[in-house]
Chain A
Amino acid sequence: MSDEKVNVVWLGSPTFPNAAHDALRDGQLRRNLKHATTTIRDKRLRAVAELDDWETLRLAGSQIKDRVMRHLDEYLLRLEASVTAAGGVVHWAEDADAANRIVIELVRAKGADEVVKIKSMATQEIGLNEALAADGVTATETDLAELIVQLAGDRPSHILVPAIHRNRTEIRDIFRREMGKYGVAAPDDLTDEPRVLAEAARLHLREKFLRAKVAVSGANFACADTGTVAVVESEGNGRMCLTLPETLITVMGIEKVLPAFADLEVFLQLLPRSSTAERMNPYTSLWTGVTPGDGPQEFHLILLDNGRSATLADRQGRSALHCIRCSACLNVCPVYERTGGRSYGSVYPGPIGAVLTPQLVGVGTSKHADSLPFASTLCGACYDACPVRIDIPEMLVHLRAKVVDAHRGEKLPAPEALAMKAARVVFGSPRRLAVAERLGALGGRIAGIRGGRWLPGPAKKWTAARDVPVPPRESFRTWWRKAGRR
């Protein structure tokens, strides 16, 4: 794994099956997740059912994204021209290191030693906070959930609600313990009422908003024709960051560009109902370059590749880039609901993470990322929920094949490769198959005597969770021979 991609997957993460084992033993985590995903699932269904033409909107969303991906170079150039004409500055970053360097230079040029941040998947992906810290700049996450994660020294577990793995009591304890170390402390009488916790966050962050000189954001959409950038949020922390500081730095994955401002009419219907399951999220900010006398007078847009152009090269994997980060697929996924986001060991968890993460880092480069396409039952709920119709189940199967191909020729073949090789030998000749069948029947009799339903050796893992059907006492061939004699 190359250094510049360390934050798409977290360094040293165990493979999914190992991480999931630990997560599954955590009863509190499972209760928190079940409560949260069930709540949001039901709400989303109601929000979506209100629109009769939901399927038509999904189709339009998916087609617009398809158009963008097939002509991404053109749209990026058009976006650059529009943003520049509106008074913004566009930067291009091939990888995480390059993007972080650009941000650090811009912050230094302003003489700032702190920045306020809007929740952004792109800046998490590049490990911006850590890079800024290494350079002596403090980055404060201002989204409530991100603040909880940051104060706890924790890792996010969900795209939309990164602290979904924490319940209110845990959050109260984190606020009591940590807030005072970084600014305004939590009040002594802090309870675990969500309203009271939100109020504590408001007080803690307000002084930071009022004095911040530089803000860093991501982008939900950027319109190539007008240069307009959109940030969709709930709390108003986004508006604070986009409005009060003198300088705004937006880090945006290159796939977030939309052809036209008019396309917002589709995505502003699809995104809120799919993510927070609301008719509309509380605040959506649209800005175009710099407006004299209103908001930041310096605007920088960093266009980030970091594995995206490589992802584009796989025709069957390309549409993972259509993702608008709504997180609906996480909330409906039976695997996510039980293991939580941190088991995926990536900033992109859940079904979309299972297809996006291995592609961004490159299939075959990380044992951990390669385990993700297998973290699925292929039930298809994610495809049904996806507002831009990404066929995640099909892509998972495609990526599983790619992972297996990437590991072909390794010195120690994987157990399933050995099993398949053995199967080829056995099925290759009728005589060998007959011998195998007799052995199977014998094994069946032994198993029958012992009452066991397990397999020995490496296959033990498989039977730990499943019953092996007891092989019949005689094979079809044997039966046929006997029947023929009669």
Chain B
Amino acid sequence: MTGSAAKDRILADIRSALHDVPRAERAEDVAVTRDYLDSHATGDVVGLFVERVRDYRATVTRVPEAEVPAEIARILAERGVRNLVVPPGFPREWLTAYDGSRLTDDPPLTAAELDASDGVVTLAARGVALTGTIVLDAGPGQGRRALSLVPDLHLCVVRTSQVLPDVPAAVRALVPDRPTTFISGPSATSDIELDRVEGVHGPRTLDVLLVVDS
């Protein structure tokens, strides 16, 4: 196979280019000073999360767990969602007040079906306060990546106990082999005169429902 010949040549070129690196040097011998801060967040981490998510022009509503079903129904009604994508594992009891139709992903919905829906509701894996980020890792109630991407509205339910202070904590909490998406606000572009515009290909509306854990 030509590929393996190319591999050998590239590796040989790299090794000869690195002639100045002592043979005995191990990668770990090259110092990396990790005395950067673990977190830049101070004080009320959940409050910071709310503020930072809102900075991206996403909405955040804080509710106690008992009010989640009514709040989901209210948001979906206000947004005019009648045709909702519901990923496997999303708590059924939270959709009891929603009276529109549901699209379940079993069998898997086609891209066109997702495109024809009004929105999607998901859980999240983590929140990151400092950057106002929501992390999805395709775990229960989150669905495969396409579900939270193609519909034009994403209603994401995050628990306050899931909110981490900053990026390092989030990276350390991730499971690398899961398909993971960091979501910071609705999709946006700055490509025209570096002017930020929300809403290009991903969901143009991001609503976050923050469930206050006792």
Q: A residues touching B (Cβ–Cβ < 8 Å)?
A: 32, 35-36, 39-40, 50-53, 56-57, 59-60, 63-64, 66-67, 70-77, 86, 91-94, 98, 102, 142-145, 148, 161, 163-164, 167-168, 171, 194-195, 197-199, 201-202, 205-206, 209-210, 223, 226, 228, 234-237, 239-240, 242-244, 254, 259, 261-262, 264-266, 268-269, 272, 276, 278-289, 291, 293-295, 303, 305, 309-310, 312-313, 315
Given the complex, which residues of A lie within 8 Å of B26, measured CB to CB?
71
Q: Give, as a whole number of angstroms, the nearest-CB distance from B118 to chain A.
A: 16
A294 to chain B, nearest CB (A): 4
Nearest neighbor of A284 in chain B, beta-carbon distance: B182
Q: Can you name 13 A-B pairs with beta carbons within 8 Å? A: A76-B14, A94-B10, A144-B192, A168-B192, A195-B199, A226-B176, A234-B188, A235-B200, A240-B150, A244-B111, A254-B10, A282-B185, A286-B176
B148, chain A: closest CB distance, angstroms: 9
* In contact, B176 and A239 (Cβ under 8 angstroms): no
Q: Chain A interface mostly helix, strand, loop or mixed? A: helix
A276: B residues at CB distance < 8 A: 190
Task: List the A side residues contacting B18 at CB < 8 Å.
Answer: 70, 72-73, 312
| CB <8 Å contact, B52 and A279 | yes
Chief secondary structure at chain B's binding surface = loop
Known: A50-B40, A194-B192, A282-B188. A209 touches B111 (CB 8 A): yes
Encoded as 1 (CB less than 8 Å from any A CB) or 0, chain B from 6 to 29 comes to: 110111011111111100011100
Closest Cβ neighbor of B203 among chain A residues: A236
Closest approach, in angstroms, between the C-beta of A255 and any C-beta of chain B? 10
The yes or no answer to B112 lying at the interface (CB within 8 A) is: yes
Q: Are A70 and B36 in contact (CB under 8 A)?
A: no
Task: Supply 4 further A-B pairs (C-beta < 8 A) apart from A98-B6, A228-B177, A294-B179.
Answer: A70-B30, A102-B3, A206-B201, A285-B182
Of residues 165 through 187 on chain B, the ones whose CB sits less than 8 Å from some CB of chain A are: 167-168, 171-172, 174, 176-187
Complexed CA–CA distance, A248 and B148 (Å)? 19
With beta carbons under 8 angstroms apart, the residue of B21, B138, B202 that contacts A236 is B202
Q: Which residue of B lies closest to A89 (CB)?
A: B3
State whether B25 touches A70 (Cβ < 8 A).
Answer: yes
* Contact A91 to B200, CB < 8 A, known contacts A210-B112, A294-B179: no
A153→B200 CA distance, assembly (Å): 22
Taken together as a complex, chains A and B put the C-alpha atoms of A76 and B9 apart, in Å, by 13
Q: Which residues of A contact B90 (CB under 8 A)?
A: none
User: B residues within 8 A CB of A32?
Assistant: 193
- B145, B171, B182, B192 — which one has the most chain A CB atoms within 10 A of its CB? B192
Q: How far is the CB of A304 from chain B (nearest CB, A)?
A: 9
* A313-B16 in contact (CB<8A): yes
Interfacial chain A residues near B66, Cβ < 8 Å: none
CA gap between A149 and B191 in the complex, in Å: 11
Closest to A291 in B: B179
Give Cα distance in the complex from A291 to B179, angstroms.
Answer: 7
Tell yes or no: B195 within 8 A of A by CB: yes
Q: Are A93 and B202 in contact (CB under 8 A)?
A: no
Q: Which residues of B lie under 8 Å from residue A64 when comparing CB positions?
A: 32
CB of B149 within 8 Å of the partner chain: yes
Give every chain A residue within 8 A of B188 (Cβ-Cβ).
234-235, 282
Q: A235-B202, A305-B13 are in contact. Are A265 and B167 (CB under 8 A)?
A: yes
Whole-angstrom CA separation of A201 from B133 in the bound complex = 26
A163 near B191 with CB under 8 A, answer yes
Contact B130 A279 (CB under 8 A): yes
Partner of A265, one of B2, B31, B111, B171: B171
B115 pairs with A71, CB closer than 8 A: no
Chain B residues whose CB sits within 8 angstroms of the CB of A280 once the complex forms = 128, 131-133, 167, 182, 184
**Cβ contacts under 8 Å, A143 to chain B:** 191
Given A236-B149, A315-B20, do A291 and B33 touch, yes or no (CB 8 Å)? Answer: no
Given the complex, which residues of B lie within 8 Å of A161, measured CB to CB? 190-191, 194
With known contacts A237-B201, A239-B149, A280-B184, A310–B36 Cβ distance under 8 A: no
> Could you tell me if A210 and B149 are in contact, using CB atoms closer than 8 angstroms?
no
Contacts of A56 in B (CB 8 A): 33, 35-37
Known: A56-B35, A93-B6, A262-B171. A198 touches B181 (CB 8 A): no
Contact code string B120-145 (vs A, CB < 8 Å = 1, else 0): 00000000101111000010000011
Q: Contact check, A295 vs B201: say whether CB atoms are below 8 A apart.
A: no
Contact: B167 with A269, CB < 8 Å?
Answer: yes
Query: What residues on A are CB-neighbors of B131 within 8 Å?
Result: 272, 279-280
Q: Which of A70, A197, A287 contacts B21 (CB 8 A)?
A: A70
Q: Do B171 and A261 touch across chains, with their CB atoms under 8 A apart?
A: yes
Which residue of chain B is the closest to A260 with respect to CB atoms?
B176
CB-nearest residue of chain B relative to A55? B36
Q: CA–CA, A237 to B202, complex, Å? A: 7
Given known pairs A235-B201, A283-B181, the reply for A71 and B192 (CB within 8 Å) is: no
CB contacts (< 8 Å) of A281 on chain B: these are 184
Question: In the complex, A284 Cα to B197 Cα: how many Å?
Answer: 18
Contacting residues, chain B, for A199 (C-beta < 8 A): 199
CB-nearest residue of chain A relative to B112? A210
Judging by beta carbons under 8 Å apart, are B108 and A194 in contact? no
* Residues in B whose Cβ lies below 8 Å from that of A262: 171-172
Query: Is B17 touching A313 in the complex (CB atoms < 8 A)?
Result: yes
Q: Is the CB of B10 within 8 A of A236?
A: no
**B167 and A309: CB pair below 8 A?**
no
Chain B residues, CB < 8 A from A309 = 10, 13-14, 17
CB distance from B136 to the nearest CB of A (A): 10
For B14, the chain A residues whose CB sits under 8 A away are 72-73, 76, 254, 309, 312
Query: Are B195 and A194 within 8 A (Cβ)?
Result: yes
**Alpha-carbon distance between A237 and B191 when the two chains are bound, in angstroms:** 13
Q: Which residues of A contact B6 (CB under 8 A)?
A: 92-94, 98
Residue in A51, A70, A145 with the greatest tally of chain B CB atoms within 10 Å: A70
Shortest C-beta distance, B7 to chain A (Å), equals 4
B146 at the A interface (CB under 8 A): yes
How far is the CB of B137 from the nearest CB of chain A, in Å? 9
Beta-carbon contact of A234 and B189 below 8 Å? yes
